[in-house]
Amino acid sequence: MSAPIAVRAATRADVPRLAATLAAAYRDYRWTSWAFPEDGRAQRLHRWAEVCAGLAGVDAGTTWVTDDCAAVAAWSAPGAAAPAADLQAVLDRDLPKAFGSRHRVVLASEALAAQGKPEEPHWWLAAVGARPADRHAGRGAAVLQPVLARCDAEGVPAALSTYTSTAVRWFQRAGFAVTHATRTAVDHELPVWTMVRRPRRTA
With respect to residue 178, please indicate whether it lies within any of the assigned structural domains. yes
What was the pLDDT predicted at 83? 86
> Residue 24 is inside which H or E element, if any?
helix 15-26
With respect to residue 148, please indicate whether it lies within any of the assigned structural domains. yes
Range of the domain at 34: 7-197
The SS3 assignment for 35 reads helix
What was the pLDDT predicted at 202? 64
With respect to residue 158, please indicate whether it lies within any of the assigned structural domains. yes
CA dihedral 194, 16, 18, 111 (to 10 degrees): 0
What are the two backbone dihedrals, phi and then psi, of residue 159, each rounded to the nearest 5 degrees? -145, 165
With respect to residue 106, please indicate whether it lies within any of the assigned structural domains. yes
With respect to residue 89, please indicate whether it lies within any of the assigned structural domains. yes
Instruction: Evaluate the CA torsion angle 158, 162, 168, 174 in order and state its sign.
Output: negative
What are the two backbone dihedrals, phi and then psi, of residue 127, each rounded to the nearest 5 degrees? -165, 145
Q: Residues of the chain whose pLDDT is less than 50?
A: 1
What are the two backbone dihedrals, phi and then psi, of residue 75, each rounded to the nearest 5 degrees? -120, 165
Give the span between the Cα atoms of 154 and 146, in whole angstroms: 12
3-state secondary structure 122-163: CEEEEEEEECHHHCCCCHHHHHHHHHHHHHHHHCCCEEEEEC
3-state secondary structure 57-97: HHHHCCEEEECCCCEEEEEECCCCCCCCHHHHHHHHHHHHH
With respect to residue 78, please indicate whether it lies within any of the assigned structural domains. yes
Rounded to the nearest integer, the mean pLDDT of the chain is 93
With respect to residue 97, please indicate whether it lies within any of the assigned structural domains. yes
Please tell me the pTM assigned to this model. Answer: 0.93
With respect to residue 141, please indicate whether it lies within any of the assigned structural domains. yes
**CATH number of residue 63's parent domain:** 3.40.630.30
Structural domains of the chain, count: 1
**Could you read off the pLDDT of 17-56 as tens digits, one per residue?**
999 999 999 999 999 999 999 999 999 999 999 998 788 8
What was the pLDDT predicted at 203? 55
